[in-house]
Amino acid sequence: MRVLVVEDDVNVRDGVVAVLRAAGFAVDTAPDLPAADEALWINRYDCVVFDRMLPAGDSLHYVAHQRAKGWPVPVLFLTARDSEADRLAGLRQGGDDYLVKPFAAAELVARVRSLCRRVPTGRAPVLRCADVELDVDGNRVTRAGVLLTLTRKELLVLQRLMSTAGRPVSRRELIAHAWDRNAELESNALDQTVRGLRRKLREPPLIHTVRGVGYLITR
């Protein structure tokens, strides 16, 4: 399960990340709303944890705006604003849960895990390129009807390539999509993952290197 933590206070952010990672979550972070917006555009999250007051404004308004566009990702507001009016506003404007600082680590984990388990509204489409099919929700990939066994990183890289089939995807974008933003990453980790994908997808080749940019997959 992958979680985005949006918090500008470094100490609070590091504490939340440590708690969630210790509980087995993959965690990305963003210090403000523009960075959160970029992360949400690139990656798919099971839950987002928002501080209310951020440098670019109240995250409540950002969430309300996203909900109006049909954004389905569960949201937990984690904030020091503890009045009944604040709690009600958070829930009315698109939050799924509201936890006041200071908080117990076990309660944070329980609430985030509960939100991550919610059934999303609507099913993600099955992606298709040539004779390859990727069921995003089922994490299932086939080529010419044959089921392939991929690692999680291979699956995430393939998903990003197939969702933008026909155009090059930068190395930076692929790494941001498939790896925890704060993970220790070997310099050739992406290349190794792509090599594994190419081997498992077999011939004819679908993934091509675009020099100086990254990779693309043909339709």
Write out pLDDT tens, residues 105-150: 999 999 999 998 875 545 556 888 999 999 876 778 999 999 999 9
Q: Averaging pLDDT over each range in 68-77, 86-95, 188-197, which range is the top one? A: 188-197
- Ranges for all domains in the chain classified under CATH 3.40.50.2300: 2-116
Rounded CA gap, 74 and 46, in Å?
7
Output the pLDDT for position 123: 52
Report the share of the chain in percent with pLDDT over 70: 94
Output the pLDDT for position 184: 60
Rounded CA gap, 173 and 96, in Å?
29
Taking the domain 126-217, which CATH number applies? 1.10.10.10
Q: Comparing C-alpha atoms, which of 95, 96, 116, 156 is closest to residue 25?
A: 116
The model's confidence at residue 181, banded by pLDDT at 50, 70 and 90, is low
Output the pLDDT for position 185: 65
Name residue, tokens 């099919």: 133
Residue 51 contacts residue 59 (beta carbons within 8 Å): yes
Per residue in 20-34, pLDDT tens?
999 999 999 999 998
Output the pLDDT for position 40: 83
- β-sheet bridge partners, residue 48: 4, 75
Residue 216 contacts residue 161 (beta carbons within 8 Å): yes
**Mean pLDDT for the chain?**
87
Output the pLDDT for position 7: 94
Residue 100, helix vs strand vs coil: strand
State which H helix or E strand residue 29 sits in. strand 26-30
- Ranges for all domains in the chain classified under CATH 1.10.10.10: 126-217
Q: Which CATH class is domain 2-116?
A: alpha beta
